[in-house]
Amino acid sequence: MSRVPLVDPKADTASKPLLDQITAAFGATPAMFRAVANSPAALEMMWAGFGALGHGTLGAKLGEQIAVLVADRNACEYCLAAHTMLGKKAGVSAEDMSEAQAGRSSDPRTAAALSFAEKLVTNRAQVDDADVEALRNAGFDDEQIVELVAHVALNLFTNYINVALAVPVDFPTVRLLKAA
């Protein structure tokens, strides 16, 4: 049971205009958005972040692979389930999503991004010059490096929302590999 009420997307609240957009985008209103809708400002920040990164240069496939890695490291069952489904919709194979969840990829560029994302999460952003240089050597430019950090940060926010507030999972369940 959620630790905060799940806002009814049909209710006349300050969050309703954004919930209408979210419902249109998903065909339903996922529980996470309904929980965050308790704060219109937080909902606006989160939805804007998803929109901005959706237009970024990393692409949906890599964004979803990063999301499942971050979710697994934070034991966020909600985000793991949601992003596994979204990754498959973006064209990532089930095997590649499972590999990303474990922090692996047969693609060197994706592997470098996942390694960096894992260090950001595990070491609380304490990375060094060699870590950033490894991304450059894998073909990432400065814009993409900053965007990668933004993906991790947005996913940390959603993980924290879902775990701290016990948001019920409303996507097909995916088993966590690592406990936080």
What local confidence, expressed as pLDDT, does residue 137 receive? 98
Question: Residue 107, SS3?
Answer: coil
Structure-token match 């985008």, residue found: 25
pLDDT digits (tens, 9 = 90+) for 78-116: 999 999 999 999 999 999 999 999 999 999 999 999 999
Give domain 60-164's CATH number out of 3.30.499.10, 3.40.50.740, 3.90.1150.10, 1.20.1290.10. 1.20.1290.10
For residue 176, pLDDT beyond 60 = yes
Across the range 117-135, mean pLDDT stands at 98
When pLDDT is averaged across residues 134-160 and rounded to a whole number, the result is 98
Q: What is the pLDDT of residue 179?
A: 54
Average pLDDT over residues 159-180: 92
Q: Is the pLDDT of residue 180 over 80?
A: no
Helix axes 142-164, 60-73, angle to 10 degrees: 40
Q: Would the CA dihedral through 140, 130, 67, 69 be positive or negative? A: positive
